[in-house]
Amino acid sequence: MIDIDKIRADFPILKETVNGKPLVYLDNAATSQTPQVVINSIVDYYTTINSNIHRGVHTLSQKATDAYEQARLKLQQHFNAKKNYEIILTAGTTHSINIVATGFTSLLNKGDEIIVSALEHHSNIVPWQMLCERTGAILKVIPMNLDGDLVLTEYDKLLSNKTKLVFVNHVSNALGTINPIEEIIEKAHNVNAAVLIDGAQSCPHIKPDVQALDVDFYVASAHKLCGPTGVGILYGKEEWLNKLPPYQGGGEMIKQVTFEKTTYADLPHKFEAGTPNIAGGIAFGTAIDYMNEIGFKNIAAYEDELLNYATKKLLEIEGLKIYGTSKHKTSVISFNIGTIHPYDIGSIIDKLGIAVRTGHHCAQPIMDFYKIPGTVRASFSFYNTFKEVDMLYEALLKAKMMLS
């Protein structure tokens, strides 16, 4: 069960007003809000143990190192990685994807094929296009249908012994579609292809088990999980992380340096060059603790209720069309009202204190598929309320009246 009043009290920003109105924050797919316990974690780090990690013998350095590595253990447990060093702490999902994309440069040959889906965020398209430019590999795309589901019969046709990599998001940021990644992973492995799953949008709603999924790489960002910006994870199977070369050179990622030759550190430090976002990594662990205390099954159940209520409510507005109507989706509603530009709707309801995202949502191929410039996207989290859905509905009616 969700105690919504107790939960909302944990988030100081939800008490704010915007343009003289109570804040209704419905842009959670872009970034979640941060509970006080996570904010306290960052403040505590800088006020009590601020020091560089892994390289100091003094007390502060050892305390900071312990706190940072404890966060890694929490993330290992949360994602059910087999080894703690399979969790690489990064600057976020985009950074994590680029580590893998850059690493595969030396592992691909001209004519090899890699597969992405039509539902991807630009961060899971552009790095692979760049990889193809470097290697001569060929990019293939799993198509989508009008409901926003992937057409898996076409995926079957794309797979071959030339397929080396498959990249799919767990959940579409633009539409909320939950992709059948278990089936996608299994079929890719049948042709000996590696799989990376972009979990940026799924992790706030679904607790992934990377061992059960048998996925080769899984990436996520803290700021979607009530954590700070600028920190995320790359999970990789040990054998794959050992195959990939380091992404950056510098301190921390070395074992020994001479002018003749450098040898690299063992996992995870091989991919963690330089001073990391120490406070962010520690706070990421705190955020994971906070969400697990609420319980991801409780979160998913409550958000499903919000999604169903909001979907029915918004469809009462004449001319409103929802894009992404999969039977399997998270709490995201992308929509337009008639021919009104989504930017205009977003601007007007912002004056009423309601924060939504408008535009192509870094998913231009999806908008091109629907032949639209963009959508209004309302995305809900476990701290949103049914009353806020009603406030969104009333604001949209007002915007429609003003813009029609």
Contact criterion met (CB below 8 Å) for 288 and 74: yes
Q: Between vectors from CA 46 to CA 43 and to CA 47, what angle results, nearest 5°?
A: 80
Element at 373 (helix H, strand E):
none
* Distance from chain centroid for Cα 76: 17
* Distance from chain centroid for Cα 271: 20
First to last CA, the chain: 41
Contact criterion met (CB below 8 Å) for 382 and 10: no
DSSP symbols for 288-350: HHHHHHH-HHHHHHHHHHHHHHHHHHHTTSTTEEEE---SSB-SEEEEEETT--HHHHHHHHH
* Distance from chain centroid for Cα 82: 21
**Residue 13: which of 353, 277, 377 has the closest Cα?**
353
Would residue 362 show up in a list of annotated catalytic residues for this protein?
A: yes
* Distance from chain centroid for Cα 104: 22
- Annotated active-site residue in 132, 203, 226, 362: 362
* Cα 287 to Cα 6: distance, rounded to the nearest angstrom: 16
Largest Cα–Cα distance in the chain?
72
* Cα 210 to Cα 235: distance, rounded to the nearest angstrom: 8
Tokens of 252: 């921390």
DSSP symbols for 137-205: -EEEEE-B-TTS-B-HHHHHHH-STTEEEEEEESB-TTT-BB--HHHHHHHHHHTT-EEEEE-TTTTTT
CB-facing half-sphere around the CA of 392: CA atoms within 13 A: 31
| Residues belonging to the active site | 362
